[in-house]
A and B are shown apart, each in its own frame.
Chain A
Amino acid sequence: MGFISTARVKSPWIMHFETGSCNGCAIEVFAALTPVYDLERFGILNTGNPKHADIMLVTGCVSFRAGRVLRNLYHQMPGPKAVVAIGVCALTGGIFHDCYNLAPGVDKVIPVDVYVPGCAARPEAIIAGTVMALDRLAGKAGPPNIAPGEPRRGLEEGRVVEIAPGNSDK
């Protein structure tokens, strides 16, 4: 690995966004930051600000309102960036996949690099998923996943990121 990709891999800053579900996974993301799991060992900082983040951890089943926010936040992250969807809610909607206020699945809104299943995903799984997403930062991963179908509406001009493979590699 090159000098730069080493640094990228060793210093992935994360941001967490909960898009509306039961919080179980969100709390597990928090737990992963605390002494027992200590994500900072990997150089990970929880920045809480898309402009500083390299990896976005998304939990929850993407309600309509949260989807709007989610896409906006993704747009504000500087590349190279990766997205880790955590919990089955964020993957497919999980038990909520039939609910009326959501278009389940993070990959319907933004490209996703790693899927961490589980309900709730254990902190260990979150760590493993985050580590997996580092490949994207190192430039080694293939194109991220986008769910097929129409892009979601309700996103105004100027905020829409074209969902296309490789977008997050920019």
Chain B
Amino acid sequence: MFEMLRTVMQNLFSRPATRLYPKEQREPFPSARGHIESVIENCIFCGLCQKRCPADCIVVDRAGKDWNLDPYRCIICGVCVEVCPTKAIVMSTYFRKPARMREPLTYHQEERGRPPKAKPGQDPGEAKDQM
């Protein structure tokens, strides 16, 4: 009891350990695996990522030039990022923000050089810009 008393008294007179998320946000570690994003313009639809993904959450539609990701199944292992020959998948250090709907993302490659487009209603963005 007295050992604990010392600790709690120290606590009372020191700053709380709490990180006041969302008011204060810590910079993620540089190597942090937050979520993956596609740089769809780089994709060559080789299908490697689909083959190696342990959670089967990528579907590459070569014909329709669609790169489908179920971000709500992705376990953020980073294998796809590693195997992609063209660096068409990048790992963001920010975690994916919570959502009210659970629908897969489809990246469609219009033609090279155009920005990626997500399905309406979906925001693959980061938690950072949410709060």
Contacts and interface: CB of A to CB of B under 8 A. Distances in A.
| A and B are interacting partners | yes
Interface of A: 35-38, 41, 84, 88, 91-95, 97-98, 107, 112-119, 121-125, 127-129, 131-132, 141-142, 145
5 contacts: A38-B16, A97-B55, A107-B102, A118-B35, A128-B22
A118 B101 CA distance: 15
Nearest 6 pairs of A and B residues by beta carbon: A129-B98, A119-B75, A91-B72, A35-B17, A116-B98, A92-B73
A165 B45 CA distance: 39
A100 to B, nearest CB: 16
Contacts of B72: 88, 91-92, 115, 117
B75 A115 contact: no
Given A92-B73, A94-B55, 14 more contacts: A41-B18, A91-B73, A95-B55, A95-B73, A116-B98, A117-B99, A118-B95, A119-B74, A121-B95, A123-B21, A124-B25, A125-B97, A129-B98, A131-B22
A125 B74 CA distance: 15
A126 B68 CA distance: 26
A126 B16 CA distance: 20
A121 B102 CA distance: 15
B96 interface: yes
A35 B100 contact: no
Contacts of B97: 125, 128
Interface in B102-118: 102
Contacts of A88: 55, 72-75
A122 B100 contact: no
Interface of B: 16-22, 25, 35, 54-56, 70-76, 95-102, 127, 130-131
Contact of A115 (B18, B54, B98, B127): B98
Contact of B75 (A94, A128, A131): A94
A123 B18 CA distance: 12
Contacts of A35: 16-18
B55 A127 contact: no
Majority secondary structure of chain A interface residues (helix, strand, loop or mixed):
mixed
A124 to B, nearest CB: 5
A88 B20 CA distance: 25
Given A36-B19, A128-B127, A117 B100 contact: no
Nearest to A85: B102
Contacts of B98: 84, 114-117, 125, 128-129, 132
Contacts of B75: 88, 94-95, 119
Contacts of A125: 95-98, 127
B96 A92 contact: no
Contacts of B73: 88, 91-95, 97
